[in-house]
Amino acid sequence: MSLWSSIAEIIASLAKGEGLSALFDRLRVPPERTVTFTIAVIALGAKIAKADGQVTRNEVAAFREVFHIPPEEEANAARVYDLARQDVAGYEEYATRIRGLYGDDIAPLADLLEGLFHIALADGDYHHNEDAFLTRVAELWGLPERDFHRMRARFVPDSDQDPFDVLGLSRDATPDQIRAAWRMAVRDSHPDRLAARGVPPEAVKLAEARLIAINRAWERIGAG
């Protein structure tokens, strides 16, 4: 069964009038981690798309920057988005439920947050409400503040993408520390590593964008 078919099956289990909050309960024992990842990104993505006060075509289309969605599966992806957009539950409730799905494993949550950064920046602007949204989600997920700053440095143009921030390093890092951080970042972005954390192949662009930022930081520091 394809990723999108699995999602459609779970959506079909919802009773009339139930929102996406009820769907999260059905993911307590998901058929596979990729389903959880995909629904989580789309659900919170629908919430962050309204964080700056408007939903633009670019923000809706941003899901295509995170996932490859076959034409025949567009309706299933759209149903998840619409459920989240219409649900009265707030993004904090979503984030809390999603945190519960992953238990003590926060590594996939960092991948999820990267997907949300893609969506937030889809319109070419990073609104202060979007920053507050993502900061709060990171807090609810227990992600270290330094990791959040590193991620923001990769995505937000106004942050000037300080290469040391991108690699999670202090400016007094030694060449060996810089090289080790770069190698670890590259290794963690390998498709096999991402797949093990539940990132679906359909979301390969997340790894591509991360590697571009990592390698650019490495080159700017001049350690290459």
- 42-83 per-position pLDDT tens digit: 889 888 877 655 555 555 566 777 777 788 887 877 788 778
- b/e burial code for range 30-53 (CB count within 10 A of at least 16 → b): beebbbbbbbbbbbbbbbbbebbe
Question: Hey, what amino acid is at 73?
Answer: E
Phi first, then psi: give them for residue 68, nearest 5 degrees: -90, 115
Count the domains in the chain: 1
Say yes or no to pLDDT of 203 above 60: yes
d(C-alpha 88, C-alpha 15), whole Å: 16
Each residue's pLDDT tens digit, 147-189: 888 888 878 766 556 788 888 888 888 889 999 989 988 888 7
pLDDT band at 86 (very low <50, low <70, confident <90, very high): confident
Sign of CA dihedral 42, 139, 121, 185: negative
d(C-alpha 214, C-alpha 207), whole Å: 10
Give yes or no for a contact between 1 and 9, defined as CB atoms under 8 angstroms apart. yes
Each residue's pLDDT tens digit, 17-48: 677 777 777 776 544 678 888 888 888 988 88
Tokens standing for residue 84:
């989240």
Each residue's pLDDT tens digit, 112-125: 898 898 888 877 77
Tokens standing for residue 11:
């959506």
- With left for phi above 0 and alpha for psi between -120 and 50, is residue 124 left, alpha or beta? left
Tokens standing for residue 87:
């649900």
Give yes or no for a contact between 159 and 153, defined as CB atoms under 8 angstroms apart. yes
What are the residues whose beta carbons fall under 8 Å from the beta carbon of 210, sequence distance 6 or more? 114, 154, 185, 189
Higher-pLDDT residue of 87, 169: 169
Note the pLDDT of residue 158. Answer: 61
Residue span of the structural domain in which 43 resides: 3-221
Question: Hey, what amino acid is at 208?
Answer: E
- Give the Å distances, CA to CA, from 148 to 72, 76, 118, 153, 179: 35, 31, 14, 9, 21
